[in-house]
Amino acid sequence: MENRPLPRPDAAAYDAARARQNQLTKPPGSLGVLEDIACRFAAWQGRVKPDAPNPAITVFAADHGVAADGVSAFPQAVTAEMVKNFAAGGAAICVLARANGARLEVVDAGIAHPLDPALPIVHARVAAGSANLAREAALSEAQLDAALEVGAAAARRAVEVGAAAARRAVEAGANLLVAGDMGIGNTTPSAALICAFTGHDIDAVVGRGTGVDDAGLARKRDAVARGLARVAGRALTPRQTLAELGGLEIAAIAGFYLEGARRGVPSLVDGFIATAAALAACRIEPLLADWLLASHVSQETGHALAVRALGLSPLIDLRLRLGEGSGAALCLPLIAQAIALHNEMATFLEAGVSDAL
């Protein structure tokens, strides 16, 4: 993954967009968050009237060694089975991608069960799942680097223009990225990362994930506690923390966000796992936060705390806890309408309306 610095959003375009909002035929601020969305896209695109969102959704899948400790309500084999469902177009994110006209790509970053090479996904498996974070580093340094690059490569495919990109994405290139996740047990490393990066208590962050019972929740909390105890007192860098406590798809999502920002493309952050990845990526490169928009707050314990740690505010709360990028996908029409209002409403001058409202 390239290591060049991240650009900054265009402050002048933001200010000009905010001025335009104040000239539209409505009381200033009356569209609330919709005005903020439009102005942020103006800054990201460097134009007073930003283009409509052209989203690209990438779902990253991997397995986790900590699943062996009984932290999920589902067996690990479900990861591979769900990826096959993605490839067949039957998952929730497939429906939402179609409904929004969004390009969807599925990436095997580290599924334990081998998949048919003919399956129409991106086969980029770094390893057959991560190690058990409760007992040892989840990823080696080499695996972390490889997973970050898997995500960066997916971002490049989404935003680059040209024949190769056109085969995989849209000819014009994406101007908004969404990362989804699939990996049985992945709320456990996500919770461990959120605890490590924010200092919040385990009980405040570790939730039921796919729906574990009380005994399963106790096992999850114990696994996170053992992982955190294993690294306690060590002066770890953010990258090292991600390797010790994360997972292959989580690292890939972090790389996806970072590469998107390097190319001047923002990301719409999904749920608990995607937010943990965003938190790790922002600890690696703090300027990334300027290129992130939080889509929703999920029902998973600790998600709101993680979003707050990023300095973001979620757009919606629909009591979701699915992952896959589904919460972010549901926000795409809202974003499109915010930009349409900003671009197409008349100003007071254009409408011949007095602005003394």
How far is 291 from 266, CA to CA, in rounded Å? 5
User: Which residue, among 189, 106, 95, has the nearest Cα to 144 in the 3D structure?
Assistant: 189
Task: Mark whether 324 is an active-site residue.
Answer: yes
Q: Is residue 343 a contact partner of residue 34, using CB atoms and an 8 Å limit?
A: no
The β-bridge relationship of strands 55-62 and 103-110 is: parallel
Residues 6+ apart with CB under 8 A from 300: 187, 207, 208, 209, 271, 272, 321
Q: DSSP of 191-210, one letter per residue?
A: HHHHHHHH---HHHH---TT
The residues that bridge with 180 in the sheet, in sequence order, are: 59
Q: Is residue 150 a contact partner of residue 247, using CB atoms and an 8 Å limit?
A: no
Q: Is residue 335 a contact partner of residue 53, using CB atoms and an 8 Å limit?
A: yes
Q: Which H helix or E strand runs over 180?
A: strand 176-182
Residues 6+ apart with CB under 8 A from 138: 64, 65, 66, 130, 131, 132, 189, 243, 244, 245, 246, 247
Q: Among residues 300, 324, 344, 350, which one is catalytic?
A: 324
Indicate which residues carry an active-site annotation. Answer: 324
